[in-house]
Amino acid sequence: MTRAFHGERGSFALMLAIATSLTTAKGTVEIVYPPYLAGYGYSLSLIGFLTSVIAFLQLFSRVPAGVAYRAHRAQRQYAIALVLFAATIGGFAFAQGQGVAIAALSALHGLAFGALGTLGLALAIDLSGGRRAGPAMAWYTAAISTGYALGSLIGGSLAETIGMAQTLAIIAVLPLLAAGAVFALPSLAGAPQVFDRGTGVRGLLAAGARLDSRVWLAVVIVLYLNVQRDALDTFFPIFGPTVGISFAVVGVLRAIKSGAGVFMRLTIAVLLHAVDYRRVTLIAVVALAAGTFVVPMTSSVVALGAIFIVLGLCGGVLRATSAANIAELRSEGRDVGLASGVYNMGLDIGGIIGPALGGAIASVVGIGSMFQIVAIGSFAAWLVVALSSATTREAAGLAKRHTIGPTATTGGEHRG
């Protein structure tokens, strides 16, 4: 089995580089894919449909990938998924807009990326050994976020310079290189026990029912985060001009929020070496709900700027600490493969529910009141799950722990 985080610091850093290269490729595709299809005459509705197909199949592949995950063959599984992902990106470049090819490639693209998200998180957790879960997952989620930011920059610049198809062909090389790099990672012995995940739908449901309650708390946290974030991102551009805020300012506010989130993901690893991630989670959950609630209560750009900074910081915190809930299971010998699949599925579902739920509520009570209802309702849902057991109360920071602060280090752990 690999040594603790500090003993394999180089290996974990390589895993971060692989994760960054993956999301750099994905971020590029997200920028280039819609105008690439539009260039071949695809209608807006068809582009939207194909994008939804990718999202749905990404969601669909999360849990099966988690069920299939085995630490001793994780490198091979991850490398195969990376090669398939690269093949879909390269395929777009050479498909020349052919309808059947685009549909098939889009489906495979969603399946491959969904599997990569689940396998990558489980592999990163196994590499860290589940020790110092907060800092390890802070670095991992920061790597993912950095890749998306790089992908947006690279995709837009390259597409304008050399064209859409050429950009896709070039960026497809990144996951191929990452697939080779995977085999430079140390072999894994996995968690100390073998998990019976069953067979078929019934076996999968039974395995899911046996998951630690902290997994469901982590899922609720990312649902909580994504429902509020996506409802705000979708409808604030409509709400802003109605209270005298220009579209330009709306764009600046969104950029401020995104920047704060990236900043927090890049710096929270240092914070979590000194502070227990459970305490940070509790503060961020409360602050996110409060921030979303007060958004419609002011039209001051300065006040909204401060609120959006808080929302961005809270998003960065919750993305890292929710993943830490999953990583912590590894050091206890629990099933991180299935847990990773369920957790990543929660990320996707939150992104789907947020705009739909926000739109339904806003059509009845208005956008401003919708922000407040979503804030209160999602906080109440989190609180119900957080209070449901002694384990979730402790993980949510609502119960006093026997040891305050991060888990005490042993001789084999990194103190940062």
Contacts of 371 (CB under 8 A, 6+ apart): 231, 232, 235, 239, 292, 293, 295, 296
Stretch 98-114: mean pLDDT, rounded?
Answer: 94
Closest residue by Cα to residue 224 from 317, 297, 132: 317
pLDDT at 277 over 60: yes
**HSE value, Cβ hemisphere, 13 Å, CA-based, for 78:** 30
> Residue 415's pLDDT band (boundaries 50, 70, 90)?
very low
- 284 and 136 in one domain? no
Out of 189, 219, 253, a domain closes at 189
- 245 and 351 in one domain? yes
Does residue 93 lie in a domain region?
yes
- 271 and 218 in one domain? yes
Does residue 410 lie in a domain region?
no
Contacts of 12 (CB under 8 A, 6+ apart): 5, 124, 127, 128, 136, 139
Greater confidence (412 vs 144) lies with: 144
Greater confidence (327 vs 8) lies with: 327
> Residue 222's pLDDT band (boundaries 50, 70, 90)?
confident
Does residue 340 lie in a domain region?
yes
Does residue 196 lie in a domain region?
no
- 51 and 171 in one domain? yes
pLDDT at 5 over 50: no
- 73 and 124 in one domain? yes
Question: What are the tens digits of pLDDT across the range 281-330?
Answer: 889 999 999 999 999 999 999 999 999 999 999 988 888 888 777 777 77
pLDDT at 406: 40
- 182 and 280 in one domain? no
Instruction: Give me the residue label for tokens 């020790």.
Output: 131
> pTM for the complete prediction?
0.73
Stretch 174-203: mean pLDDT, rounded?
Answer: 71
Question: What are the tens digits of pLDDT across the range 34-83?
Answer: 889 988 998 878 887 888 788 889 888 888 888 888 878 889 999 999 99
pLDDT at 409: 36
pLDDT at 55: 83
- 217 and 177 in one domain? no
- 259 and 218 in one domain? yes
Question: What are the tens digits of pLDDT across the range 21-44?
Answer: 999 999 889 888 888 998 899 887
Closest residue by Cα to residue 255 from 303, 293, 312, 294: 312
pLDDT at 353: 81
3-state DSSP call for residue 387?
coil
- 362 and 231 in one domain? yes
3-state DSSP call for residue 328?
helix
Q: Would you state the structure tokens that stand for residue 28, as one six-digit string? A: 């590029």
pLDDT at 405: 38
Does residue 195 lie in a domain region?
no
Greater confidence (103 vs 6) lies with: 103
pLDDT at 3: 40
Stretch 248-263: mean pLDDT, rounded?
Answer: 82
Q: What is the mean pLDDT of the chain?
A: 82
Range of the domain at 365: 209-395
Contacts of 402 (CB under 8 A, 6+ apart): none
CATH of the domain at 319: 1.20.1250.20
Does residue 70 lie in a domain region?
yes
pLDDT at 1: 36
Does residue 21 lie in a domain region?
yes
Stretch 157-169: mean pLDDT, rounded?
Answer: 90
Does residue 406 lie in a domain region?
no
Number of domain units in the chain = 2
- 137 and 250 in one domain? no
User: Lowest mean pLDDT: which of 86-90, 131-135, 330-334, 377-381?
Assistant: 330-334
